[in-house]
A and B are shown apart, each in its own frame.
Chain A
């Protein structure tokens, strides 16, 4: 066995130099490059999404509730070695310099944030070196909008509820940005120790209580499993959930790359099989001679396996390097979209690279290795150096099954793999039948005048199987290229179709009333046209009174926040499906509702809805159903 390995090792460079292994080597490099390129890119993007998701949460996991959470969870997490922090967020008036503004207050413990960092600036706009995420008791950090609106200066006093604070710095950036009703007001970060002295949280106040946890994935999972019976109102926020939306976008593009990867692997597998046949054919005399000179089956196999293992290692390494370079190129092309620097890749793409080459080499060479190992020495006296694969259906089936299993493991998409392989089988049959038919037609004209043509046509007929194989491989490659081009076009077209014509490229949110004039004049000067402002407020549906007595299905909508807007005139993109647009002098307030939401709630024109928004409760009558383009 060792003799065989040593012999294989000695002959490896010779075989590589002489071209016996170079095509197989190149096929493996190509497949590993394609797969690892996509894998490196996907891996780094996924890691980046996870990192960004943790910044969105300021933690690896968070419990969120509208009522205070018991500290038992924090104690238990600390005992299990996790990092913990607590935040309390609510809306309150901020008073300074005889002016006031509704602000979103975030009171935090000193350990906040567990992930990401708080960036502060002084009042000259210089970034401050800041290790902390929470100001000392009695101090606050405020967002620039608050500075402008209240004309704040460094060390000014700002009052929240019963407590006066010193404005220490400007809040330039912070993780876990507010969402929902807190999102539209500028943020103030205060120390949680000052919360009680503010005296603003009363019974019925709208408050978001959050407990933050950080640790390894395993630690987080163990802790989460150990937490029994969380109250119903507690929402658990985890990285997977936060990264889900970004992940779904990535998944769609990864599926396209996977399709390209699948085609590459199939083409690489076919070229590997052809290369393996060439390799085996060129080694048949060699192997037969070795058998005659006394080499055992074990010796033959171990020398071949040694060569293939070296080749797998080298080809995979080269492929991984090329894949990494391609991934770097793609990232540099996507630089503007990706923005920040991506984390380094994990070892997963390396594992996938080796899995690719092992599977391909096994699928391509197993039938020939078996034949080489079992070649009869008597062939040397018969000058018989041809391969007879008819009795090796079993090993071919094993090779195809290996390739299929590998593709299923790699792409994790049973329907994609099976449908592509199924379509490929049909295509192979059609191309083979077509190939044999064309060769039969050509054989009818093999007596044409002109010795060149005659010899050429006879040669094609004589080597019928090889010619058909070439037709099939060529046909498959062209079909794959066409399929990829078509899929790419379809992907872009279907994405375009989801957007209306003239869909804006940018939206600006959270523009306050006092900012509209300035923004309008800025865009007028830049675009030479006015821009449209759409008012938005988050409101909550409190109840529905049916005018017709029909049962209303409002369970899913009650107590959920929805976007409310208002107009004097009917917007252009708004179609009235049922009912009428209201008149400005109609008197009682009326509302227009999206037709799909209305249908899901079984609403009728004339039903009365009660809302709460911006601290006010009001009622409105449903006057129409609309469709917004």
Chain B
């Protein structure tokens, strides 16, 4: 069993639940050969600090689009997003990048580890962007906490699926974000690895009070979350 007791201490004092993410009347439309396609329709959602929230729904329901908009990776056609007090829907890309750089972590279904970088170099990447002089030390600690101390110099193609996702989680958590967005974090994993990664995410939440938003098909994982939302044809149901 992997523990995350040492990870992220800066949020541990936030026991009073307050909203960290507010989604107000979000609509997302895109142009397609068939005309304007509505992917999200008047979505409203509030996520409290320290919560683990899951968003489920069938393929094409708009889950990933909603996650991208909530995390500031994309902009809605209409509506507002307030992330950690910042109205990110009125910001330009560089301003949103600044919000993401300090307090937002990401985990992806395809891991997105850089293939020619070692596990350590992959984890160091977010800290190097911030110019953190202790990037190597912090990254080694993060990998250690993920149980990957013997995989530090390994390249992604020398790691199993579960190990790759643990490296990705270490990379997401190394800068101690306030909120972690996970897009299908167990989508590419076998049953055993799925359990390990699920436990790891909940363990992180418990130890560091990091807010976690998970978009998933995995109902077992979704049901273990404090709050579960279902997205269907662009509309949200609690």
By a beta-carbon cutoff of 8 Å, the part of chain A in contact with chain B is 3, 6-7, 10, 18, 285-286, 289-299, 376-378, 380-381, 383
> 1/0 per residue B94-115: CB within 8 Å of A?
1001111110101010101010
Residues from chain A with a CB closer than 8 A to the CB of B125 are 289-290, 293
Residues from chain B with a CB closer than 8 A to the CB of A299 are 129
In angstroms, Cα B93 to Cα A18, docked, is 31
The 8 closest A-B pairs by CB, nearest first: A294-B101, A293-B126, A378-B74, A3-B131, A294-B100, A296-B94, A377-B73, A295-B129
With A380-B73, A381-B108, A383-B110: A292-B100 Cβ-Cβ less than 8 Å: yes
With A286-B114, A293-B125: A378-B131 Cβ-Cβ less than 8 Å: no
| Beta-carbon contact of A294 and B110 below 8 Å | no
| Beta-carbon contact of A6 and B131 below 8 Å | yes
Residues from chain B with a CB closer than 8 A to the CB of A298 are 94
In angstroms, Cα B104 to Cα A290, docked, is 13
A/B interface sample: 15 pairs, CB < 8 A: A7-B129, A285-B112, A290-B129, A292-B73, A295-B97, A296-B97, A299-B129, A376-B73, A376-B93, A377-B73, A378-B68, A378-B73, A381-B64, A381-B73, A381-B183
Q: Which of B67, B101, B183 is in CB contact (< 8 Å) with A293?
A: B101
In angstroms, Cα B64 to Cα A380, docked, is 11
Q: How many residues of B contact A (CB 8 A)?
A: 27
Residue of B nearest to A15 (CB): B116
Residues from chain B with a CB closer than 8 A to the CB of A292 are 73, 100, 106
By a beta-carbon cutoff of 8 Å, the part of chain B in contact with chain A is 64, 67-68, 73-74, 93-94, 97-102, 104, 106, 108, 110, 112, 114, 116, 125-126, 128-131, 183
In angstroms, Cα B102 to Cα A296, docked, is 13
| Beta-carbon contact of A297 and B94 below 8 Å | yes
Residues from chain A with a CB closer than 8 A to the CB of B94 are 296-298
Residues from chain A with a CB closer than 8 A to the CB of B68 are 378, 381
Residues from chain A with a CB closer than 8 A to the CB of B129 are 3, 7, 290, 293-295, 299
| Beta-carbon contact of A296 and B73 below 8 Å | no
| Beta-carbon contact of B97 and A380 below 8 Å | no
Residue of B nearest to A383 (CB): B110
* Given A293-B100, A297-B93, 6 additional A-B pairs, CB 8 A: A7-B128, A293-B126, A294-B102, A381-B67, A381-B108, A383-B110
Residues from chain B with a CB closer than 8 A to the CB of A18 are 116
Most A CB within 10 A of own CB, among B93, B110, B183: B93
| Beta-carbon contact of B114 and A285 below 8 Å | yes
| Beta-carbon contact of B73 and A294 below 8 Å | no
In angstroms, Cα B126 to Cα A289, docked, is 9
In angstroms, Cα B68 to Cα A299, docked, is 22
In angstroms, Cα B100 to Cα A296, docked, is 11
In angstroms, Cα B101 to Cα A495, docked, is 69
Residues from chain A with a CB closer than 8 A to the CB of B108 are 380-381
- A282 smallest CB distance to B (angstroms): 8
Residues from chain A with a CB closer than 8 A to the CB of B74 are 376-378
Residues from chain B with a CB closer than 8 A to the CB of A290 are 125, 129
Residues from chain A with a CB closer than 8 A to the CB of B183 are 381
- A216 smallest CB distance to B (angstroms): 51
In angstroms, Cα B213 to Cα A115, docked, is 85
In angstroms, Cα B74 to Cα A380, docked, is 11
In angstroms, Cα B73 to Cα A536, docked, is 91
Q: Which of A10, A289, A294, A383 is in CB contact (< 8 Å) with B130?
A: A294
Residues from chain A with a CB closer than 8 A to the CB of B93 are 291, 297, 376-377
In angstroms, Cα B214 to Cα A64, docked, is 94
In angstroms, Cα B112 to Cα A299, docked, is 21
Residues from chain A with a CB closer than 8 A to the CB of B112 are 285, 289, 380
In angstroms, Cα B112 to Cα A291, docked, is 13
Residues from chain B with a CB closer than 8 A to the CB of A6 are 131
Residues from chain B with a CB closer than 8 A to the CB of A7 are 128-129
In angstroms, Cα B98 to Cα A6, docked, is 19
| Beta-carbon contact of A295 and B114 below 8 Å | no
Residue of A nearest to B110 (CB): A383
In angstroms, Cα B74 to Cα A184, docked, is 91
Residues from chain A with a CB closer than 8 A to the CB of B98 are 294, 296
In angstroms, Cα B129 to Cα A285, docked, is 15
In angstroms, Cα B130 to Cα A296, docked, is 11
Residues from chain B with a CB closer than 8 A to the CB of A378 are 68, 73-74
Residues from chain A with a CB closer than 8 A to the CB of B130 are 3, 294
- A532 smallest CB distance to B (angstroms): 77
In angstroms, Cα B126 to Cα A29, docked, is 34
Residue of B nearest to A283 (CB): B114
In angstroms, Cα B114 to Cα A296, docked, is 19
In angstroms, Cα B7 to Cα A277, docked, is 40
